[in-house]
Amino acid sequence: MNISKRRWLFLPVETKARELAAKTLLACVAAERGWGVIIGKKKTVRDKQELYPRGTFIEKSITPGRIAHIRKANAIGNRVSAWCEEGLIYLNREDYRQSRLEAESFAAIDYFFAWGKNQADDITSIMGPNDKIVLSGNPRFDLLRPEMRGLFAKSAAAIKQRYGKFILINTKFSMVNNNRKIEEFDYISFLRSIGKLKTKENEELVRRNVNLNKKLFAHFQDMLPLLSKQFSDHAIIIRPHPSENHEPWLEQAKRLPNVKVVFEGNVNEWLLAADVMIHNNCTTGVEAFLLERPAISYRPFKDEEVEHQLPNQVSYQAVNAEELIDLVSRFVEQNHSVSEEERAPKVSFARHYIANIDGKLACEIIMDTMDKVDLPLMDGIFPIDQGVSKILAKKVKNFERAIKQLFDASYRNRQRYNRQKFPGINLAEMKNLVAQLHSASGRFSNLQIIPAVDDTYCIFRP
């Protein structure tokens, strides 16, 4: 299909469950304004960009090493802006500077979209005053607003129908339970190898965080038999972090009849369906709060130097098993909801970190900004014809991968890690997602979606 001249936006997706719905909302807002949008698997969107019309990326981060991707885009004739998927919760300003903020990348982008004032202030203190930082919030939190929550209503109802009453546990222990390697994962060595530890002070802080997580990881596993027995009329659903190894949780679930490990769909539908959610120092605590669902931060061990205030402050807190059982009972037995009186101070606290709690959607602020970028108007033809030679080369590469899959255990594990984060997208799924966004918002009825190439799609208004 030939798509008429327009500006083009590229949205690479790394972790499907976390990013796809929000980036599709942004794609729809852009397409509604007349943009063409390419959205899909991160590697494909980047690697195939020479086949697309020229346009602008919104990268998921500007971490150390990102400059190579930005330079490649610039060399082809594309521009780049960015946000930081991990920019809401981090240890402190110095840790953020070392692990998440590459000065070269910041200098090379047009705009940086901040979650809120806290992140914007930290970046300004590091990079100096500038006009690149836009206080927008993040599209992931647009989806949690009352006007958009309908997106998850049908799937949340289906989850409740499937599992009945359940308690949700969201884990965040990838630094001590990582799915990246078969051998024991050394998080400190891994960060050092990719240039994210630059000082002894920062390494010591990260080491403290690892030690805290080792204790919490064991304690969360010990917690499961207690919850299973105390709330035998409920399912206990464990939803591991996208980068975690599921095996330790699956081993626990084998021994407990009402405990299940489930990693599918968007976390928001699970938060809406659950009676209560348990976490530790996790963004899902913030997401539950914004959805007006009860969340408990379980903190049997503490180290406030390496914990973030936001997920704790907007959650109910339990410091031992007794307090945890009491709080869970309050929500599942009394059908307790969060009152406005309880929410008010939490909302006030959260505003410093989250720019789009209310007011204009982050997607609209982002696209108001992107409309200012000087881009050529170009037409596009999709699906992309890669030519016979490239198709044959792809078949050869797939064959080589199949051989590696058979004989290389390390390769198999990396592939499993990648599939867990991005298991693929089909056209029907994308069309259904846009239809749900239309149903929830009353917008986007005149948009079309067509395949681009290999797990990427073009969204546009004819």
Residue-level pLDDT at 311? 96
Percent of the chain with pLDDT over 90: 79
Residue-level pLDDT at 206? 87
Contact 239, 264 (CB under 8 A): no
Q: What is the pLDDT of residues 444-458, one digit of tens each?
A: 999 999 999 989 999
Q: Is residue 184 pLDDT above 70, yes or no?
A: no
- Considering only residues 378 and 391, tell me which one the structure prediction assigns the higher pLDDT: 378
Of 23-32, 200-209, 316-325, 444-453, minimum mean pLDDT range: 200-209
Q: Is residue 182 pLDDT above 60, yes or no?
A: no
**Side chain identity at residue 387, one-letter code:** G
Contact 275, 207 (CB under 8 A): no
Residue-level pLDDT at 71? 98
Q: How many residues does the chain have?
A: 462
Residue-level pLDDT at 414? 64
Q: Is residue 239 pLDDT above 60, yes or no?
A: yes
pLDDT band, very low/low/confident/very high, at 215 (cuts 50, 70, 90): very high
Question: What's the chain look like in SS3?
Answer: CEEEEECEEEEEECCHHHHHHHHHHHHHHHHHCCCEEEEEEHHHHHHCHHHCCCCEEEECCECCCCHHHHHHHHHHCCEEEEECCCCCCCCCHHHHHHHHECHHHHHHCCCEEECCHHHHHHHHHHHCCCCCEEECCCHHHHCCCCCCHHHHHHHHHHHHHHHCCEEEEECCCCCCCECCCCCCCCHHHHHHHCCCCCCHHHHHHHHHHHHHHHHHHHHHHHHHHHHHHHCCCCEEEEECCCCECCHHHHHHHHHCCCEEECCCCCHHHHHHHCCEEEECCCHHHHHHHHCCCCEEEECCCCCCCCCCHHHHHCCEEECCHHHHHHHHHHHHHCCCCCCHHHHHHHHHHHCCCCCCCCCCCHHHHHHHHHCCCCCCCEEEECCCCCHHHHHHHHHHHHHHHHHHHHHCHHHHHHHHHHHHHCCCCCHHHHHHHHHHHHHHHCCCCCCEEEECCCCEEEEECC
Average confidence (pLDDT) over 411-416: 63
Q: Is residue 261 pLDDT above 90, yes or no?
A: yes
Of 83-97, 199-213, 405-419, minimum mean pLDDT range: 405-419
Q: Is residue 290 pLDDT above 80, yes or no?
A: yes
Q: Is residue 386 pLDDT above 70, yes or no?
A: no
Q: What is the pLDDT of residues 332-375, one digit of tens each?
A: 976 666 778 888 999 999 999 999 999 999 999 999 999 999 99
pLDDT band, very low/low/confident/very high, at 91 (cuts 50, 70, 90): confident
Residue-level pLDDT at 225? 97
Q: Give the pTM.
A: 0.89
pLDDT band, very low/low/confident/very high, at 95 (cuts 50, 70, 90): confident
Report all structural domains of the chain as residue ranges with CATH numbers, in order of start: 2-142+357-388+423-460 (3.40.50), 149-350 (3.40.50.2000)
pLDDT band, very low/low/confident/very high, at 121 (cuts 50, 70, 90): very high
Question: And the tokens for 417?
Answer: 């890690």
Residue-level pLDDT at 33? 98
